Amino acid sequence: MKTSPLRQQLIDSLTLKGYSPRTIESYVWAVASLADFHHRSPAGLDTQAVRAFLLHLHTHKSYAASTINVIINGIGYFYREVLDQPLGRLKDSLPRPRKVTRRPQVYSVQEVQRLLERGFLSPMHRTLCMTLYGGGLRLGEAPRLKPEHIDSGRRFIRVVQGKGHKDRYTILPEQLLGQLRAYWRAYRPHPWLFPSRQHPHQPVGAACVQKTFIGALERAGLPRKGGPHILRHSFATHHLENGTPLHVIKRFLGHNSATTTAGYLHITRHTLNSVVSPLDAMNLSTPETTQG
């Protein structure tokens, strides 16, 4: 968005309505991309211009369906809440791209151990990724932890205003607690547990964590299966394999529905290995085969 006052209006509106910093960033980026595509202020665009931009995204960009839906939501919000134009209802009339369901890949326990032992050069990033895995946190949650969110007495991590503006508690493993204590004694971080190197009074950015994570995978000699969020997937899968009840994992992850948590069942070794094929129940003889 080239018009600075409009950008600020959008940011102020989203902030007052309690949207998360990540959503604000995404919506601002969506409207800015629309303006850049047409080389004009978005205030002067019509429905056809917006549709042309979305068609461009479908045909020339490899954005996921979820990303395009965020763009549609952001543009619709801008015209509806900031400019108060009928174009704000555009998001309800546009066909949404069909979302492809992809099951998350995970690393084994041994692979996660290898990553944590060999992958990280920075103690802060190692501790942060241990926290992502040990507590099953989202990428946007771990960097916003403060020292007071670590409840060492009750062995819980308090997640403040996670996804959906909800507070919750998740598990604090003994190994993670020891790492956090050593990290605290060495660096005394404040106010954020994982501060930005360039801006110490702000939490470390997601992009920095992602970049560091990819480098750690290379140093550990592990295949790339995704970004840091895969540690959360691995947390859920490994807990299921260890017999942790589904409803407990659901609370740790902060899911609204157990159906979401149950999606991890398909990749647990216990689930797959416990299934007996009807074919294996048959006592079939193996006929001799001849060549020719």
Q: What is the pLDDT of residues 198-216, one digit of tens each?
A: 898 999 999 999 999 999 9
Alpha carbon distances (Å) from 172 to 102, 157, 175, 201, 252: 29, 6, 8, 25, 10
**Residue 1, pLDDT score:** 45
Phi, psi at 111, each rounded to 5°: -70, -40
91: annotated active-site residue? no
Residues forming CATH 1.10.443.10 domain(s) in the chain: 109-273
Q: Could you give the dihedral angle defined by the CA atoms of residues 271, 274, 279 and 280, in that order, rounded to the nearest 10 degrees? A: 150
8 pLDDT above the threshold of 60:
yes
Q: Tell me what the mean pLDDT of segment 124-135 comes to.
A: 96
39 is catalytic: no
CATH 1.10.150.130 segments of the chain = 4-93
From 149, 163, 225, 251, active-site residue: 163
Examine the pLDDT at 95 and tell me if it is beyond 80: no
Measure the CA–CA gap between 265 and 262, rounded to whole angstroms.
5
**Catalytic residue (choose from 80, 138, 233, 238):** 138
Q: Rounded to the nearest 10 degrees, what angle do helices 21-38 and 47-60 cross at?
A: 100
Q: Is the pLDDT of residue 178 over 90?
A: yes
pLDDT average, residue stretch 101-108:
77
Please tell me which residue in 232, 233, 238, 239 is annotated as part of the active site: 232
Residue 58 annotated among the catalytic residues of the structure: no
Average pLDDT, the chain: 86
Question: According to the per-residue pLDDT averaged within each range, which of 50-54, 132-136, 244-248 is highest?
Answer: 132-136
Q: In this model, does residue 94 exceed pLDDT 80?
A: no
| Residue 229 annotated among the catalytic residues of the structure | yes
Amino acid (1-letter code) at residue 74: G
**Which one is the CATH code of 109-273: 1.10.12.10, 3.30.930.10, 1.10.443.10, 3.90.1150.10?**
1.10.443.10
Q: How many CA atoms lie within 13 A of 289 on its CB side?
A: 3
pLDDT for the residue numbered 220? 97
CATH architecture assigned to 4-93: Orthogonal Bundle (1.10)
| Residue 232 among the catalytic residues | yes
- Residue indicated by tokens 């085969």: 289
Share of the chain above pLDDT 70, in %: 84
Residue 264 a catalytic site member:
yes
| Cα angle value 280/282/283 (rounded, 5°) | 110
